[in-house]
Structure 1
Amino acid sequence: MSISVTRVFDLLKYNLEKFPKEEFVSGKIKGEWRKFSTKKFCETTDNLSRGLTSIGIGKGSRVAIMSANRPEWNICDYAIMQLGAYQIPLYPTLAEHDVKFILGDAEISVVFVADEQLYQKVKTVCAELTHQVDIYTFDQIAGAKHWEELTAIGATLNTVDLETYREAVAPEDILTIIYTSGTTGTPKGVMLTHDNLVQNFKKSAVLLPDNVTHALSFLPLSHIFERMISYLYAYLNIAIYYAESMDTIVADIQFVKPSGFSTVPRLLEKVYDKIVEKGKALTGIKKAIFFWSLALAEKYDINKSWWYNFKLGIARKLVFKKWKEALGGNIQVIISGGAALNPRLARVFWAAGLPVFEGYGLTETSPVITVNHFDAIRFGSVGMPIEGVEVKIASDGEILVRGHNLMKGYYNKPQLTDEAIDSEGWFHTGDIGELNEGYLKITDRKKEMFKTAGGKYVAPQMVENKIKEAPLVEQIMVLGENRKFPSALVVPNFEALKNWCKLKGIEFGSNETIVENKEVKAKFQKLIDEANKEFGKWEQVKQFALLPKEWSIDGGELTPKLSLKRKIILEKNNEIIEKIYKDAENYHPENK
């Protein structure tokens, strides 16, 4: 009998029946690869499910996972969901107050944590809660309950009929509650159903080529983007390999030699910047060929002349072949999401024979709304809606979405749900965009747009993305709410900047001294002036400040999705911002 996938856990029987393999899910932990065959994975999952029933977990129970990517994450995920319980992912770097809020709000009774550090964090938080929470660890930790204690118990419970639990779960039942940190405020629990995810990975599956057989994964499973993709991989018979950490990606790519991976634009930007830095270090004919190839790649389009394609063939043999080798040599597709990808970067990667499918979605939409792919691509857009999803633009430019991917609502927040989803079933994304021949283009976040003192609206992301094209710029935030003109806080790419200083014979010491250097400031002024040419006078960045320290998740300036927490950045840099505008009053009378 053929297995039909209508609930996410159906993927396990589907894989056992259609394509069982020796390496189904693998993860590198402390330098060692741990590999699960399909059979071992499914047996372990079933044993854990039975073990969970012994501590009272069943339909409607709440179980959390707080861990970096590893096979145990997936085993726990499937073990929880096939009992009809809700799985609540906790991002490992969440602050204690957020962990406490989520554990209380979702009434979580069991938490799986990866290591000692997370165990201590969750243990401290649980001591402050009014209800009992059991903690199990993936690593062996003295004094802590280990997750395999539950699988061992489960292996003895042959009388527990898991099929009874599975049959009680309907496609429209809740699979997970995902708390989104957002850029401000208390986390909101997004309720997603089995059907939300199943429809999303089925409708996205048609976009991937057949020759994707094994994938490297490093984006956090606690986000819906990578989690949905892990289900998509299982649906398409693609083996998953989890990188040990962001620091080991280069070595892990060379070991796995993946045919695909998903990423955020920031990582692609870093890969590109490193390649360009190496290109600048070349000399003579090699340097000339490198930059000729790069210029050619920036003009890439799907439908180019035979002459362009002939030249591109040469560039691929001489230059881009090495790019492919650096990513393992087998890449068929890269999936990019989470933020806007610079169109120039997309063209360059496609030209190099590394197709990047840029998509768009939110946690509330499970997540995919639109995506570019081989049959439908337009650079500068986030593609067309997947089958079964409708998109329209409201009168104020906001992107509205309706379809099978839309969440059930925000947990315990009916008023917020009503604000987000209107009476006709349209979800208001908070993003501003435009539709052109079916292709969606994101132009800004509705809440991030600001109005200058002159009453002009500025979409900061468009300006930021243009200035970020310069390899010397690592991070940037454009601001100017109720001010006379837009200004910017800029974090340089210090590695590239120090190399530039060496070439120019500029002495430098710490990051703090380098950002105060007059020649460095003049260089950044030039870069910003160049980018400003693309924008109207009211949108142009008139003043800026260079900051000595990169923004980070740990520092509180970025969300786990690497979006800017604009409010926090404004608060932390208030004195610098006030100085920017005070100095402008004194020295630039035209801005008065």
Structure 2
Amino acid sequence: MPILKDFKTIPQLFKIITLEFGRSQNRALLKTKENNQWKEITFDEVYHNTEDLALGLVTLGVRKEDKVAIISENRPEWVYADMAILGLGAIDVPLYPISTSEMLEYTLNDSESVGIFVSNKFQLNKVLKIINRCKYLKFIIVMNNEDKVSDKNVYSLNEIQERGKELKRENPNLFLENIELINEDDICTIIYTSGTTGEPKGVILTHKNIVSNIKAAHEVFYIDQNDVFLSFLPLCHIFERMGGYYTAFSSGGMICYAESIEKVAQNMQEIRPTIMTAVPRLFERMYSRIKKNIESQSASKQKIFNWAVEIGKEYKAAKKSEQHIPISLAVKYKLADKLVFSKLRERTGGRLRFFISGGAALSRELGQFFDAVGILIIEGYGLTESSPVIAVNRPNDYKFGTVGKPLPGVEVKIAKDGEILAYGPNIMKGYFKKKKETEETIKDGWLHTGDIGVFDAEGFLIITDRKKHLFKTSGGKYIAPTPIENMFLASKYIDQFVLIGDRRMFLSALIVPDFEALKEYADANRIPYKDEKELVKFKQIYELLDKELDQFQKKLASFERVRKFAILDKPFTIESGELTPSLKIKRKIVEERYKDLIEDMYKSLEG
């Protein structure tokens, strides 16, 4: 659906939605949960809260092109802070709530941020710990008013809004006048990507970069004011910010904030969203819960479930290929829907039109399963450097195992070495204060993504791996680890999986098991254990995972098969430095940390 009204900058979009479109609406724009109750926030309230905050920032000396950081969980105040900063022509620097003090110190200094919004005392303490080493930082604003501390540079959100109200009495049109001064080529945001190697880089995105992606999304998806979005992915990540926030905003739809990742399932049933952005991990968890529930049922119920899923796959395949659907298949599908699928869809609230998945590869099997039961997952692909979408499947033109076709206005080509290159209005301006890295990444206007991929015969893009992740066995065979790792992650007993084999005779792996599933197996098989450390050492557990791997790797070529693995007793985490904030594994760090264990695996088979 076309956008409600044309806009060239994010503040223009804000003005159109809250002031012009909002006047005709008798409902909430945002919803959040407070004291166990959903609280509605109207279009008018969103506008005035933002305007007061923006003018309050003016009293603190914030001017056009100043950088102001935000570290907060998803909540309405994130929107107020974002739109207030941008509405002044300033630049925001969003940070992951899980960032450590050290990460904050680097980012605040590198970005030259003059201020920071923090959500609560926990985030405030991280900043206070390093404030004396942040040479540009002049103020901290705490969203939770009760969490403010007595310090001349620390303010509560309310205090700043009160200052803004005073300034408005003197200059009633100041905020709207500022909005009109912002140009589409002005910098909107600097987003720090903590790649799997090297120090974080600040990606410079202009208003035009992000707006081009929003408008292209409207060409691909039918989204309107009747849509309800449930937001749980971090707003500091460009995927949620562009898809679950700005695009949702531009449709005039309603945005509801999930309480936490743990409560997404409960919140889905309460809010009954129509569209959600998500990552494959959510679908893996959903699938795991469904599977677990089915396995606890009687043999006859399990049989009905498995029959229904097969009918669903057959029906969707026939529908997709535009074949005539036999009456017998249509009748069976209707029955399967009544007995099984409708109950599964109810868990999402019952009115979900589709999920949009990004951030990591979605397994073909997972996509096909959910499609069979009537839950469509649309997978896309992009980078922070491309604002973010480069390619995406469409609700009426999709293929699992691919990331779809290029977004309107974005050109994609494959370099001679297989790297995906992208060109368009969504490509970043560059990396902040990193000329060399910018020149290495953007050549003649083409973004070098660092991903390896191919187009299939129908024009769907397939990502095979990261260029840096490809390795060669000592036998001369090239291996793309990610597809193999994703295949094993479909096992209910595996939580994290790292493939090893660069310059080695064969492949091995480090496996972090799903400890909950493992404990259930141990309890059912009377395997005594005190803790997780002891549990992973049992021979029966190794044999269980060995059988799982054998089942999954039957279709792999012999040189792609895992011949040896080690089971770890604790997961990879952000805090330990083994994961990036977007939950990607830092391979070099993991391989270095577990090098003795890796060497032992090879000695045991080579020796």
Q: Judge which range, 158-167 or 257-266, deviates more.
A: 158-167
Measure the CA separation in 2 of the matches of 1:90 and 1:431: 25
Aligned to 1:37: 42
- Tell me, what secondary structure is at the counterpart of 1:136? strand
Task: In structure 1, give the amino acid aligned to 2:280.
Answer: P
Q: Judge which range, 303-312 or 513-522, deviates more.
A: 303-312
What's the offset of the Cα at 1:98?
1.7
Contact 2:100 2:126 in 1 (8 A): no
- Tell me, what secondary structure is at the counterpart of 1:399? strand
Q: TM-score, normalised by structure 2?
A: 0.93
Count of matched residue positions in the alignment of Structure 1 and Structure 2:
584
Aligned to 1:427: 447
- Tell me, what secondary structure is at the counterpart of 2:549? helix
Aligned to 2:21: 18
- Tell me, what secondary structure is at the counterpart of 1:542? strand
Task: In structure 2, give the amino acid aligned to 1:40.
Answer: E
Measure the CA separation in 2 of the matches of 1:350 and 1:163: 46
Measure the CA separation in 1 of the matches of 2:163 and 2:536: 59
Q: Judge which range, 463-472 or 102-111, deviates more.
A: 463-472
Matched, 1:123 2:128: yes
Matched, 1:380 2:401: yes
Measure the CA separation in 1 of the matches of 2:269 and 2:439: 48
What's the offset of the Cα at 1:284?
3.1
Aligned to 2:595: 574
Aligned to 1:322: 343
What's the offset of the Cα at 1:401?
0.5
Task: In structure 2, give the amino acid aligned to 1:429.
Answer: T
Which of residues 152, 156, 160 is equivalent to 1:146?
156
Structure-to-structure mapping, 1:518-537, within 5 angstroms? 518-537=539-558
Measure the CA separation in 2 of the matches of 1:313 and 1:195: 46
Contact 1:444 1:460 in 2 (8 A): yes
Aligned to 2:107: 102
Which of residues 155, 168, 175 is equivalent to 2:181?
168
Measure the CA separation in 1 of the matches of 2:219 and 2:45: 28
Matched, 1:64 2:78: no
Measure the CA separation in 2 of the matches of 1:318 and 1:209: 30
Aligned to 2:141: 136
Aligned to 1:398: 419
Q: TM-score, normalised by structure 1?
A: 0.95
Matched, 1:76 2:84: no
- Tell me, what secondary structure is at the counterpart of 2:197? coil
Superposition CA RMSD, Å: 1.8
Which of residues 350, 361, 366 is equivalent to 1:345?
366
Measure the CA separation in 1 of the matches of 2:566 and 2:309: 31
- Tell me, what secondary structure is at the counterpart of 1:157? helix
Task: In structure 1, give the amino acid aligned to 2:561.
Answer: Q
What's the offset of the Cα at 1:521?
1.2
Structure-to-structure mapping, 1:404-553, within 5 angstroms? 404-423=425-444, 425-436=445-456, 437-553=458-574
Q: Runs of 5+ in structure 2 lacking a partner?
A: none
Cα deviation, 1:164-188, whole Å, max 9, x if unaligned, reads 3222211111100000011121110
Task: In structure 2, give the amino acid aligned to 1:289.
Answer: I
Contact 2:309 2:373 in 1 (8 A): no
Measure the CA separation in 1 of the matches of 2:525 and 2:199: 48
- Tell me, what secondary structure is at the counterpart of 1:176? strand
Cα deviation, 1:555-581, whole Å, max 9, x if unaligned, reads 322222221111222122222111111
Measure the CA separation in 1 of the matches of 2:300 and 2:132: 66
Aligned to 2:298: 283
Contact 2:205 2:428 in 1 (8 A): yes
Q: Judge which range, 128-137 or 435-444, deviates more.
A: 128-137
Contact 1:30 1:244 in 2 (8 A): no
Task: In structure 1, give the amino acid aligned to 2:470.
Answer: M
What's the offset of the Cα at 1:40?
0.9
Q: Judge which range, 295-304 or 357-366, deviates more.
A: 295-304
What's the offset of the Cα at 1:111?
0.3
Measure the CA separation in 1 of the matches of 2:10 and 2:561: 48
Task: In structure 2, give the amino acid aligned to 1:515.
Answer: V
Cα deviation, 1:408-445, whole Å, max 9, x if unaligned, reads 1001011111100112x111000111111211011111
Aligned to 1:207: 220
Cα deviation, 1:452-511, whole Å, max 9, x if unaligned, reads 222221111111111222222111110111222111111112222233334444444422
What's the offset of the Cα at 1:4?
2.7
Contact 2:379 2:392 in 1 (8 A): yes
Cα deviation, 1:261-295, whole Å, max 9, x if unaligned, reads 11100111011011001001110321210122234
Contact 2:313 2:371 in 1 (8 A): no
Which of residues 215, 221, 232 is equivalent to 2:247?
232
Measure the CA separation in 1 of the matches of 2:606 and 2:288: 36
- Tell me, what secondary structure is at the counterpart of 1:148? helix
Measure the CA separation in 1 of the matches of 2:47 and 2:135: 35
Contact 1:3 1:13 in 2 (8 A): no
Measure the CA separation in 1 of the matches of 2:286 and 2:529: 25
Identity in percent: 39
Aligned to 1:590: none
Matched, 1:55 2:60: yes
Measure the CA separation in 1 of the matches of 2:29 and 2:470: 45
- Tell me, what secondary structure is at the counterpart of 1:175? strand
Structure-to-structure mapping, 1:175-186, within 5 angstroms? 175-186=188-199
Task: In structure 1, give the amino acid aligned to 2:160.
Answer: L
What's the offset of the Cα at 1:540?
1.5
Q: Runs of 5+ in structure 1 lacking a partner?
A: 587-592
Cα deviation, 1:359-417, whole Å, max 9, x if unaligned, reads 00100000011111222111110111111001111111111100111001001011111
